[in-house]
A and B are shown apart, each in its own frame.
Chain A
Amino acid sequence: EVQVVESGGGLVQPGRSLRLSCTTSGFTFGEHFVSWFRQAPGKGLEWVGFLASNIHGGTREYAASVKGRFSISRDDSRSIAFLQMNSLKTEDTAVYFCTCGNKLDFWGQGILVTVSS
């Protein structure tokens, strides 16, 4: 059974950092892209960024709204991915979703990040 589980969310003050984890099982993690999306309360979906698998060149791309502040990484040996979020802003408040798969196959249930003083 495929499982994708986000963790590490919570309340953080503006300007601080937070790292989300995406723990997976049930598929060959190392062969797949990892993408992160977010959804502000009551709003639509927003793409955050992706990290290709090493066999696809390991390319990283980020949305303009997070470029230079957020970074995606992966540990294929543990089938886990990370979203490092620095210099957080109140507008980063959202549920963050991790997605694995070359065609956005497998979604986690999401984790809430609240940026507030």
Chain B
Amino acid sequence: QAVVTQEPSLTVSPGGTVTLTCGSSTGGVTSGHYPYWFQQKPGQAPRTLIYDTSNKHSWTPARFSGSLLGGKAALTLLGAQAEDEAAYYCLLSYGGTNWVFGGGTKLTVL
């Protein structure tokens, strides 16, 4: 079973920029892992922000973007707002038959 790694916690200043990353124990993350990014606030269901590395849903704020960076999937938040404080999870697909989540990053806007 592959292990997907994320930063346990990050802090960003209001208006600042932060990049969350998502790595794989099996090697570099590629578009073939179809990376997803989810936002989850306390007591709420997750919300899908990014799919297939960099595609956004209609509800995804423009300040969020997805990419591949240095062998990892990355979620960049440009111009952080207080409402962005949440847990962020990445999800990678392995062969289309096994999906594995990272442990999540708790993002603090402070």
| Distance of A107 Cα from B44 Cα, bound (Å) | 10
Partner of B104 from A45, A105, A109 at Cβ < 8 Å: A45
Number of A-B contacts (CB under 8 A): 48
In the complex, what residues of A have CB within 8 A of residue B38's CB? 45, 104
Q: How large is the interface on B (under 10, 10 to 19, 20 to 34, 35 or more residues)?
A: 20 to 34
Q: Say what secondary structure dominates the interface of chain B.
A: strand
In the complex, what residues of B have CB within 8 A of residue A99's CB? 48
A43 to chain B, nearest CB (A): 9
A82 at the interface (CB under 8 A from B): no
| Distance of A109 Cα from B45 Cα, bound (Å) | 5
B50 to chain A, nearest CB (A): 10
Residues on A lying within 8 angstroms of B by beta carbon are 37, 44-47, 50, 61, 63-64, 97, 99, 103-105, 107-110
- Given A47-B100, A47-B101: 10 more A-B contacts, CB < 8 Å: A45-B38, A45-B40, A45-B101, A50-B99, A61-B96, A97-B45, A104-B36, A105-B57, A107-B48, A109-B44
- Sample 24 A-B pairs with CB under 8 A, ordered by A number: A44-B89, A44-B103, A45-B38, A45-B101, A46-B101, A47-B99, A47-B100, A50-B99, A61-B96, A61-B97, A63-B99, A99-B48, A103-B48, A103-B51, A103-B52, A103-B57, A104-B48, A105-B48, A105-B57, A107-B45, A107-B48, A108-B45, A109-B45, A110-B45
